[in-house]
Amino acid sequence: MEKQFIIDDIKLGESWRLFRIMGEFVDGVEALHDIGPAINFFGSARVQPEDPIYQKAELLARRFAMLNFAIITGGGGGIMEAANKGASEAGGVSVGLNILLPHEQKPNIHANITQEFKYFFVRKLMFVKYAMAYIIFPGGFGTLDELFEAVTLIQTHRIKPFPLILVGSDYWSGLIKWIKTHLLQEKMISPEDIDIIQVLDDPDVIVKSIQKLVIL
């Protein structure tokens, strides 16, 4: 009998967790459904303002905000802070989707629309749902996670293709070489899958490449 009570308690806990997850989905959709066409910026939370890639992220976000794109980031520091700062200072929509973590992730002050998430998968869905392009700066495991999830969804036709731009050829060249020399040569992917990802450095080229593909 006591064992059955424990099982019932576990089931009740799982049920309430489902309601909490649903609540995060609802809150995310309500916060973002009116933001218009958006570009997501990803990259390391550890990059400092004096770093050239921080400054490039800020510049790019400012330019896209002036073209009436909303800018979405993970809401933390580093590249996320830079992009939110560039967008907000340009008078644009600057969105921060923060995740609750025991360390490292702290919301930056530059997002004018903020939403906090407990569940990574809900937050990741919000990124994909509202993105018209991903701009991905140098980063760690979290950045790679967002990159390869988007690549997989595009490759498997689960979402419409959109520009996936890696900024920084010096940083990303080793990854691209590995993809070509292992995944492609060993036929783990198809040749056309390589075209899902672009590696670009020049802000003017990045802006034009997205403007070409996205009509506001």
Domains of the chain: 2-213 (3.40.50.450)
Q: How many helices (H) and strands (E) does the chain have?
A: 7, 7
For the CA atoms of 208, 216, 77, 127, what is the dihedral angle to 10 degrees? -120
Mapping DSSP onto H, E and C, the string for 23-64 reads HHHHHHHHHHCCCCCEEEEECCCCCCCCCHHHHHHHHHHHHH
Cα distances (angstroms) measured from residue 63 to each of 14, 39, 45, 66, 204: 45, 11, 21, 5, 10
Helix (H, G, I), strand (E, B) or coil at 215: coil
Give CA–CA dist 72/127, Å, rounded: 8
**Claim: this prediction has a pTM higher than 0.85:** yes
Distance CA 211, CA 63 (A): 12
Q: Where is 99: in which H helix or E strand? A: strand 94-99
Contact indicator for 137, 44 with CB cutoff of 8 Å: yes
Backbone angles phi, psi at 51, to 5 degrees: -75, 135
Residue-level pLDDT, tens digit, the chain, 216 residues: 444 534 544 555 777 888 889 999 999 999 999 999 999 999 999 999 999 999 999 999 999 999 999 999 999 999 999 999 999 999 999 999 999 877 656 889 999 999 999 999 999 999 999 999 999 999 999 999 999 999 999 999 999 999 999 999 999 999 999 999 999 999 999 999 999 999 999 999 999 999 876 655
